[in-house]
Each structure stands twice: as C-alpha cells, then as structure tokens.
C-alpha cells in the first residue's frame, strides 16, 4: 500500500497546540496546572486537549490514557521535588555537613527530603491524593523513574546511618509513612463554612453531638491549625531518635 504523502505533515500538525509543538513535559505541565486550578475531577483527555488547543487523540502519544496521565502527575511532583533538592544541594555542600557513616549528614539529608516533599505537596494539594491511590495501583517497578529515584535517595541515606538491611527497610517505611501521612493531615478539609467569622460555626462544631464527641469538639480548633514544616521536622526527629540510632539500637 502506498504511503499517504500527507500523513506525516498532518500528524505533526496535530501535535501543534496553542502553545507550540507538544512534548510530554508540556502535556504533564498543563495537566498539573489544570488539576491545581480545578481539581482531579476536571482532568480528562478531552479537557486537557482543549487546554492545549489540540484534539484529545493527539495526547495519546504522550499518555496512553487517564491512568497514565495520573501517573504523570505523580511523576511531575517528584520531578519538582528533584529540582528543589538540587537547588538546595549547593547550600548544603557549602555548610560542610558530615555525610559519612555514623555522622549526622544522613539525618539532615532526610530532613531536606521531608521538607522539600512537604513544600511540593503544599504547592499542589489537589494532586496529593494520587501519592496514595497510584502507589496502591502501580507496582514498584512500574512507577515513574522520578519516584524510584526518590526511594533510592532515601535508602542511600539510611544505609549511611549504620542500620542493617532489615533496619533500613523498617525506617524507610516509617519515614515514608510519616512524611506522606503528615502532609495528608495538613491538607484535610476542616472548614465547614468559610464565610463564618465565628470559629465554632466556621468549623461546623454545631454539627457534632457534644455528648458523643466532646473531645473532638474541644480539639477541633487546634486540629484545624496546620503544624507546618516545624511539626514535620519535630516528628521526624522523634521517629529517628527512636528507631534509627547508628548502632541499630533503640534509645
């Protein structure tokens, strides 16, 4: 069968949107902007194509479908995390932190990763649920390379602590659970009525039966306040003090 001479140019033209020629990076960046602005429910191949000024079919060269787009959003977050850590690397090196076995370099490295992860997640709260749901759906070996590099980075720091293989795995799980769990708590919806100036009505405490939930009603105003990066760091230190001693022993 003779090749259609117009097929090549037509295909290339279909990849041109209102912002120029498409690329995977441009597609994922636009998907992230859309979700940041309108939430995950707004994301579809058709809607993203409209954002980019192309037919939805043109996007399938860069993402095989909706699930691939969701994985791409996770990838975009971890790529941003890499950028933040790289930007911080020069300053850390200038401080001359001791990164040798048994030193404090591994702890400060974990703190930098935790802080950068927190900052990226706070900047893109609509995407954070995917850090749980996509990890449940996607096997380890099929996760985006940026995610795997983050795992590798944390494991390398934990090896420097002097822990054995079993201890490294245990603290890796605890570190991941703490950082992502902390972010999830920070981003929980707490406000019932943003228009209310009275804290009790703003939080909707009148909807909670006082006889059944006295402690929760009392703690709600404090729970509604974010702990910030300081709370993240304090909890991480408490975790490492208990389970990540250089000799592998609990304090």
pLDDT at 40 (0 to 100) = 95
pLDDT 10s digits, 10-34: 444 456 555 568 899 999 999 999 9
* Domain boundaries, position 56: 10-63
Tell me: pLDDT of 246 over 60: no
Using 50, 70 and 90 to split pLDDT, how confident is the model at 90? low
* Whether residue 169 is found in the same domain as residue 93: yes
Domain with residue 23: its CATH number is 1.10.10.60
pLDDT 10s digits, 143-191: 999 999 999 999 999 999 889 999 999 999 999 999 999 999 999 999 9
* Whether residue 230 is found in the same domain as residue 121: yes
Domain with residue 134: its CATH number is 1.10.357.10
Tell me the whole-structure pTM to 2 decimals: 0.83
Using 50, 70 and 90 to split pLDDT, how confident is the model at 4? very low
For 149, residues 6+ apart whose C-beta sits below 8 A from its C-beta are 78, 82
Q: How far apart are CA 108 and CA 105, in angstroms?
A: 5
Q: Which of 99-113, 149-163, 186-200, 217-231 shows the lowest mean pLDDT across its residues?
A: 99-113
Does the residue 133 lie in any domain? yes
* Whether residue 147 is found in the same domain as residue 57: no
pLDDT at 7 (0 to 100) = 43
Specify the number of domains making up the chain: 2
As a whole number of Å, the end-to-end CA separation of the chain is: 75
């Amino acid at each position: 069968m003779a090749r259609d001479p117009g097929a090549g140019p037509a295909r290339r033209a279909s990849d041109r949107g209102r912002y120029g020629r498409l690329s995977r990076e441009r597609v994922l960046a636009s998907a992230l902007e859309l979700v940041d602005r309108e939430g995950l429910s707004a994301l579809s191949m058709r809607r993203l194509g409209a954002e980019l000024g192309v037919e939805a079919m043109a996007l399938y060269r860069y993402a095989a479908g909706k699930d691939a787009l969701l994985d791409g959003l996770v990838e975009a977050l971890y790529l941003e995390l890499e950028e933040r850590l790289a930007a911080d690397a020069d300053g850390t090196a200038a401080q001359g932190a001791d990164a040798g076995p048994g030193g404090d370099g591994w702890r400060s490295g974990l703190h930098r990763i935790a802080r950068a992860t927190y900052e990226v997640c706070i900047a893109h709260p609509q995407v954070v649920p995917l850090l749980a749901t996509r990890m449940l759906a996607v096997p380890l070996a099929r996760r985006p390379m940026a995610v795997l590099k983050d795992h590798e980075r944390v494991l390398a720091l934990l090896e420097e602590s002097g822990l054995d293989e079993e201890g490294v795995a245990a603290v890796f799980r605890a570190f991941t659970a703490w950082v992502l769990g902390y972010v999830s708590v920070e981003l929980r919806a707490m406000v019932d009525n943003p228009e209310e100036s009275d804290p009790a009505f703003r939080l909707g405490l009148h909807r909670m039966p006082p006889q059944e939930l006295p402690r929760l009603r009392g703690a709600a105003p404090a729970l509604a306040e974010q702990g910030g990066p300081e709370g993240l760091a304090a909890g991480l230190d408490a975790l490492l003090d208990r389970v990540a001693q250089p000799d592998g022993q609990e304090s």
